[in-house]
Amino acid sequence: ESIHAKMVAKGKLYFGTATDQNRFNTGSNAAIIKANFGQVSPENSMKWDQTETSRDKYNYAGADAFMKFATDNKQLVRGHTFVWHSQLPGWVSQINNKATLTTVVQNHITTMMTRWKGQIYGWDVMNEIFDESGGFRSSVFYNVLGQDFVRIAFEAARKADPAAKLYINDYNLDTASYAKTQGMVRNVKNWISQGIPIDGIGSQGHLTAGQAANAPAAMAALCAAAPECALTEVDIQNANGQDWGNIVKACLNQANCVGITVWGVRDTDSWRPSGNPLLFDSSYKPKSAYNQVLAALA
Ligand code: G3I
């Protein structure tokens, strides 16, 4: 039985991974993904710099290939990502006019969500908008539009595909008492109370050894602030014997945590160059990390 099937047996929607055609067309990635994972996130292919390379000119090659893989394998998709300061094309970063930036954000979200309307479980509408103190990160979105960029983006997203779950996603939300975690909780509660259509909080979960011990309490705080929540990009550098079990429990313990996504298949292909952070080794063999996940789902 796959880790995805075991996760579903626990009442969750999925256990997934990140991929794109450079991965699923090479090595044993496709076979491993089909055998183990029930959800996929596009590691890069749906980001703004890969899709709307210049204003109103779209390139869907990578995203379409990703969607075909997901559809062929009947996997849930988490779309990733719209409002993000990184992997943002220069033509967007240079906009300094409120009306123009509002239209550009609305059009990007509407165009992307309409293309795959009804086919995406949820979208990371916001990614990494907070700084480490829980305030707003400096970005073209915040600097030009103020906090209003959050409402503008979520409202456009809800209108474009009302069935898709709309997420706000961030990293370093791994300790409940950390200022950034508290900033996420405080702001999301406030935005939801104002009627901004946010369905979920995503905690990326890029961890180092021992950090997962705090994840269950952190997820309890995050999951209490929104209708649903998920661990969206998990990897653990130099994981100890308990880390992977703790991260699984962090989701299992929360009734509204819908699933866990790990950020890639094998260590060699991780964006993190050291610390062997994933579930499969360079020969595509499942590691003890994989067995810890299985044990936590037993
Ligand atoms: O597409 C270009 C290609 O044209 C060029 O030849 C090549 C040469 O370097 O670079 C390619 O772009 C790379 C891109 O991945 C696509 O492969 C970038 O250099 C590289 O920096 C980029 O890295 C990605 C990173 O986000 C960028 O911020 C990682 O693969 C991806 O795993 C990582 O994912 C992020 C999540 O989206 C958000 N949370 C953090 C997470 C880890 O950084």
- Spatial separation of the C-alpha atoms in residues 143 and 126, rounded to whole Å: 15
CB of 199 within 6 A of ligand 1: the answer is no
* DSSP state for residue 271 in the 8-state scheme: S
Ligand 1 centre to CA of 11 (Å) is 33
The model carries a pTM of 0.98
Taking 3-state DSSP, the helix, strand and coil percentages for the chain, each rounded to the nearest 5, stand at 40, 20, 35
CB of 19 within 6 A of ligand 1: the answer is no
pLDDT at 22: 98
Task: Kindly report the average pLDDT of the chain as a whole number.
Answer: 98
Does 52 participate in catalysis according to the annotation? Answer: no
In the chain, the domains with their CATH numbers are: 3-296 (3.20.20.80)
pLDDT at 204: 99
Query: Mind listing the pLDDT tens digit for each residue in 173-186?
Result: 999 999 999 999 99
Question: What is the mean pLDDT of the segment spanning 20-42?
Answer: 98
Return the ligand 1 atom nearest residue 50 CA. 1
Query: Mind listing the pLDDT tens digit for each residue in 212-262?
Result: 999 999 999 999 999 999 999 999 999 999 999 999 999 999 999 999 999
pLDDT at 200: 99
CB of 269 within 6 A of ligand 1: the answer is no
Question: What is the mean pLDDT of the segment spanning 21-41?
Answer: 98
Nearest to 149 by CA among 77, 95, 193: 95
Ligand 1 centre to CA of 44 (Å) is 6
pLDDT higher than 90, residue 1: no
CB of 237 within 6 A of ligand 1: the answer is no
Q: Are the C-beta atoms of residues 207 and 218 closer than 8 Å to each other?
A: no
Does 128 participate in catalysis according to the annotation? Answer: yes
- Residue 33 has a CB neighbour count (10 Å cut-off) of 24
Measured N-to-C along each axis, helices 98-115 and 148-160 cross at an angle, to the nearest 10 degrees, of: 30
pLDDT at 56: 98
Ligand 1 centre to CA of 277 (Å) is 17
CA distances from 224 to 5, 134, 190, 238, 293 (A): 26, 17, 13, 30, 24
What is the residue with the minimal CA distance to atom 11 of ligand 1? 44
| Confidence band of 146 (pLDDT split at 50, 70, 90) | very high
Question: What is the mean pLDDT of the segment spanning 148-168?
Answer: 99
Selecting among 43, 52, 128, 228, the annotated active-site residue is 128
pLDDT at 191: 98
